[in-house]
Amino acid sequence: MKVAVLVFPGSNCDWDCVHAAEETLEGATVERVWHTTSDLTGYDLIIVPGGFSYGDYLRSGAIARFAPVMSAVAKAAEDGVFVLGICNGFQILTEAGLLPGALRRNAGLKFRCHYSNLRVTNNSTAFTSGYEANEVIDIPIAHGEGNYYCDDETLAQLKRNNQIVFTYESNPNGSIEDIAGIMNTSGNVLGMMPHPERAVSDLLGSKDGVRMFASIMKAWRERHATNVN
């Protein structure tokens, strides 16, 4: 497996993602990829990490979505490549139209940074097959604009297509329907506000993020085996 971790001016979780991927995706080659890159051919997983891309000026993710690399991400996603957007990465994916909805300022307008209990509402995905259905896991959050919002029609579609992957047990930001993470209709693009890359070791307080990366590796191996056969 070959993994790209995107880097924008202001990204601050790229090295965390590199470390987590190297520790959990056995045998994977992990590379940091600068935002000016226009070709992501050959990568099996693209991680859009957290941070404050372009200082979060205008709106979180609103400038980064125009970076050359995002056109390459869109093409890769269309081709079925796995894409994981974490925190600011989730914001960028919504701004780029790769995921529906938007992330607004937290209810109460406070930055929230702490561990958060998430419910795995859909474990039949490439990102969550290693979890039990409705399992509650402990994954940290760190955001000021994590309040997920969409209109009623989009929400109905998310529910109908089982695109809601994670929900908060105790909503920290005011997200509609307690939503913490969603995927696209094809199931290869996931965006989430919590940070699974910060939950890969007991030293960090939780290892519940390990199974997300293991799930991705399992899905990639199954796809690779199918393609070979």
User: Catalytic site residue 195?
Assistant: yes
> Exactly one of 17, 35, 145, 195 is catalytic; which is it?
195
List the catalytic residue out of 13, 143, 150, 197.
Answer: 197
Residue 31 is among the residues annotated as catalytic for this protein: no
The three-state DSSP-derived secondary structure of the chain is CEEEEEECCCECCHHHHHHHHHHHCCCCEEEEEECCCCCCCCCCEEEECCECHHHHCCCCCCCHHHCHHHHHHHHHHHCCCEEEEECHHHHHHHHCCCCCCEEECCCCCCCEEEEEEEEECCCCCCCCCCCCCCCEEEEEEEECCCEEECCHHHHHHHHHCCCEEEEECCCCCCCHHHEEEEECCCCCEEEECCCHHHCCEHHHCECCCHHHHHHHHHHHHHHHHHHHC
Catalytic residue among 13, 87, 95, 150: 87
Mark whether 114 is an active-site residue.
no
Catalytic residues: 87, 195, 197
